[in-house]
Amino acid sequence: AAVIRIHVLSCGEVGVDPAVPDRGVSANPIAYTGLFRSPKRRIWLPVKAFLIEHPKGRILVDTGWDSEVRTHPVRTLTWPLWCTSKPRLPQGTAVDEQLQALGIQTQDLDYVLMTHMDIDHDSGLRLVKDARRILVSPREWDAFHAGGVRYARRPWRGVVIGKMPLQQDPAAPFGESWDVFADGSVKVLSTPGHTAGSVTIAVTGADGFVLIVGDTGYNRRSWETLCLPGPVQNKQNLHAALAWVARMRRDPHCLAVLAAHDAQEKRTEIDLKEENIG
């Protein structure tokens, strides 16, 4: 049987205040920004991107850091974002470097699907700009084009970005989805809350399914205890999204929930049998 393989690409780390993955550690509502907080508090979280090798095409989910953060972090991130998110990117771990190590050229990517456009997810867009299609959800498109301190413009300058063709879907957690290959094997599901247009990618095979949730949960504790992170666009939506992830994780067919900053999840590859998919 054909196999759908998910590669977990560890694209460096991000140094943040402990209130980023868990806003409950401080009564200060802006503690997650790190403003007026000691840098000694800083914790380092992995930054992950995900490559889905599917018999019908290759999909990259998120891009991690731009390799320029090694030499010009402030210029690459913008000053406000550099103050809140410190990048680490060892040699060989940028997303294009890892794809090349797998024998994949960036122009061979059928899709780059962005879970959302925070800097540690979209910083590396320049490195994969010659992929066939780079897509974000319509709501995320509107949010990052509206601007604001949370979104840096530099990563997507000169990069052609389109909108995901989300459609109404009563079975989806927020009523919208996109069936990428029109066979149920890879679906993009709207899961707003962390940002206005955050999405989750569900990868399904004959033996179960995997959720790639981006920042809809920073780790297992997030969905098991409905722990909200510091950066939240809509608390009610994110709470509902985390509750949905928790229900899905309890499904015996759920093989994994992959979050972009989960240090507990150590797997680097997950294989799903592709047989019996329509």
Instruction: Tell me, letter by letter, the H, E, C secondary structure of 178-232.
Output: EECCCCCCEEEEECCCCCCCCEEEEEEECCEEEEEEECCCCCHHHHHHCCCCCCC
pLDDT digits (tens, 9 = 90+) for 97-153: 999 999 999 999 999 999 999 999 999 999 999 999 999 999 999 999 998 889 999
Strand order in the sheet with 167-168: 167-168, 176-179, 186-190, 199-205, 208-214, 254-259
Helix (H, G, I), strand (E, B) or coil at 87: strand
Give 1's pLDDT tier (boundaries 50, 70, 90): low
Residue 271: which H helix or E strand, with range? strand 269-273
pLDDT digits (tens, 9 = 90+) for 51-85: 999 999 999 999 999 999 999 999 999 999 999 99
Q: Are 68 and 152 in contact (CB under 8 A)?
A: no
Please indicate whether residue 276 or residue 234 has the higher confidence score (pLDDT). 234
CA distance 56 to 9: 21
Q: Say if residue 278's pLDDT is above 60.
A: no
pLDDT digits (tens, 9 = 90+) for 188-217: 999 999 999 999 999 999 999 999 999 999
What is the CA angle 123-240-268, rounded to 5?
45
Tokens of 50: 């995900």
Q: Are 13 and 44 in contact (CB under 8 A)?
A: yes
Helix (H, G, I), strand (E, B) or coil at 35: coil
Q: Are 194 and 229 in contact (CB under 8 A)?
A: yes
CA distance 51 to 57: 11
Task: Give the Cβ contact number of residue 108 at 10 Å.
Answer: 13
Mean pLDDT of the chain: 95
The pTM score is: 0.96
Q: Say if residue 262's pLDDT is above 90.
A: yes
CA distance 110 to 125: 14
Q: Say if residue 251's pLDDT is above 60.
A: yes
CA distance 46 to 15: 9
Q: Are 7 and 51 in contact (CB under 8 A)?
A: yes
pLDDT of 37 reads 87
pLDDT of 276 reads 53
Q: Say if residue 277's pLDDT is above 50.
A: no
CA distance 278 to 181: 10
